């Protein structure tokens, strides 16, 4: 009796294919393969197997699905065994269900060989778990390719608070982001875009939801790619090419009492871009904030040292910069005014960042979000003195 396999080839890296898939490929007379399958995987097919390329690549000309099914049935009808080889998993945006039903209707024995889907493997390359206790209790896999009547309900998806993993969404990225923002998803929501995941040519970027389309265009990212939208993207642990080697970052934070770790995450990640948490050496703040639960939890989550400074040290930093001794930008903020700001969202993130990075440079001035201010300084052998504080705003 003719036999068929629906095989998932995994996300790209040939070593991520399963042993069961390798064994099936070694038996099949005919292999119908999609464009996204790594060519190295075809080396696992039987030496005399017939290889049939059937397209199926997002954004490119594809072999019609009816033609693929007809080809499979023709080979099976001639007594040949057929392996249908798909990128990722055959049942995750692979139309494997349609092929299974057609083969069953023809009385063909079918074996499903699952593969690792890119929606899990791509984030994992950056250390992003699609679920994480305290951050995301679940993940939703959704296609970004459809529009019109088949458009996903982005408002309903945004309301879940779960991680959104979007396949085939690069061409419609602006529309997707606009829809999520209209659905009141926070503009600062951490996001990742990952192109050609698990392959040597993999590229990626991190950005806030609001900044994601512009950052993707800046990086020149394209398909095939996976988009990850949700707080878990803040856990990314790779060093992007834009991050200078040998430079450690200090993140200065000012915050109100009762700030949550989620508020801090949403403030810090966009401020870091194009760097990531992997480039951060420490978090710096006032000593009066050392026991703030949200701040402590943030440092524990990212395994960062929390460095604190006294009000006197911060005042001296402001005094030094406003004196013009370090190339001041003209700030004339006096110590008494600084103290007054501590009653609200303090303007102390910049001096704290610089104090935690002796001899460094302020690479990100104060950014204010809900209940949190963030500034970033970098230690570098190239800079003997730090850049003066540009100004302090509340």
Sign of CA dihedral 216, 217, 221, 226: positive
Q: Which two tokens stand for residue 338?
A: 């600084």
d(CA 233, CA 215): 15
289 is catalytic: no
d(CA 70, CA 305): 61
d(CA 139, CA 179): 19
For 262-297, b/e burial (b = at least 16 CB within 10 A) is: bbbbbbbbbbbbebbbbbbbbbbbbeebeebebbeb
Within 8 A by CB and 6+ apart from 105, the residues are none
Within 8 A by CB and 6+ apart from 358, the residues are 379
Q: Which of 72, 168, 185, 277 is catalytic?
A: 168
Backbone angles phi, psi at 101, to 5 degrees: -65, -40
Q: Which of 29, 34, 89, 279 is catalytic?
A: 34
Q: Which of 29, 56, 219, 279 is catalytic?
A: 56
> Do 227 and 122 meet the contact criterion of CB atoms below 8 Å apart?
no
20 is catalytic: no
d(CA 32, CA 233): 35
Q: In what order do the strands lie in the sheet with 30-33?
A: 50-53, 30-33, 82-86, 3-8, 109-113
d(CA 280, CA 270): 14
The enclosing H or E element of 24 equals helix 19-25
* Catalytic residue positions, numbered: 34, 56, 168
């Amino acid at each position: 009796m003719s036999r068929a396999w629906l095989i998932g080839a995994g996300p790209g890296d040939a070593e991520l294919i399963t042993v069961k898939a390798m064994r099936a490929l070694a038996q099949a007379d005919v292999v119908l393969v999609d464009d996204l399958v790594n060519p190295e995987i075809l080396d696992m097919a039987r030496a005399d197997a017939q290889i049939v390329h059937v397209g199926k690549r997002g954004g490119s000309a594809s072999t019609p699905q009816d033609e693929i099914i007809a080809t499979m049935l023709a080979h099976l009808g001639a007594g040949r065994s057929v392996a249908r080889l798909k990128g990722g998993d055959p049942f995750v945006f692979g139309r494997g269900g349609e092929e299974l039903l057609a083969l069953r209707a023809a009385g063909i024995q079918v074996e499903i060989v699952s593969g690792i889907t890119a929606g899990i493997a791509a984030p994992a390359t950056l250390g992003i778990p699609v679920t994480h206790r305290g951050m995301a209790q679940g993940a939703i896999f959704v296609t970004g390719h459809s529009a019109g009547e088949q458009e996903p309900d982005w408002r309903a998806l945004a309301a879940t608070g779960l991680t959104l993993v979007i396949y085939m969404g690069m061409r419609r990225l602006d529309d997707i982001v606009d829809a999520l923002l209209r659905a009141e998803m926070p503009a600062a929501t951490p996001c990742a875009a990952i192109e050609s995941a698990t392959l040597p040519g993999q590229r990626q970027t991190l950005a806030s939801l609001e900044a994601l389309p512009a950052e993707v265009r800046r990086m020149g990212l394209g398909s095939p790619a996976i988009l990850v939208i949700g707080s878990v993207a803040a856990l990314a642990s790779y060093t992007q090419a834009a991050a200078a080697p040998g430079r450690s970052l200090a993140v200065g934070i000012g915050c109100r009492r009762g700030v949550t770790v989620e508020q801090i995450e949403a403030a810090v990640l966009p401020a870091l871009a194009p760097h990531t948490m992997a480039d951060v050496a420490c978090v710096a703040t006032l000593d009066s904030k050392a026991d703030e639960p949200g701040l402590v939890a943030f440092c524990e989550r990212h395994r960062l040292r929390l460095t604190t400074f006294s009000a006197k040290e911060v005042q001296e930093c402001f005094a030094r910069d406003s004196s013009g001794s370090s190339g001041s930008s003209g700030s004339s903020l006096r110590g008494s005014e600084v103290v007054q700001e501590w009653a609200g969202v303090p303007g102390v993130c910049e001096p704290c960042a610089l104090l935690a990075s002796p001899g460094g440079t302020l690479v990100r001035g104060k950014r204010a979000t809900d209940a949190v201010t963030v500034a970033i300084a970098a230690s570098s052998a190239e800079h003997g003195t730090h850049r003066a504080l540009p100004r302090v705003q509340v």
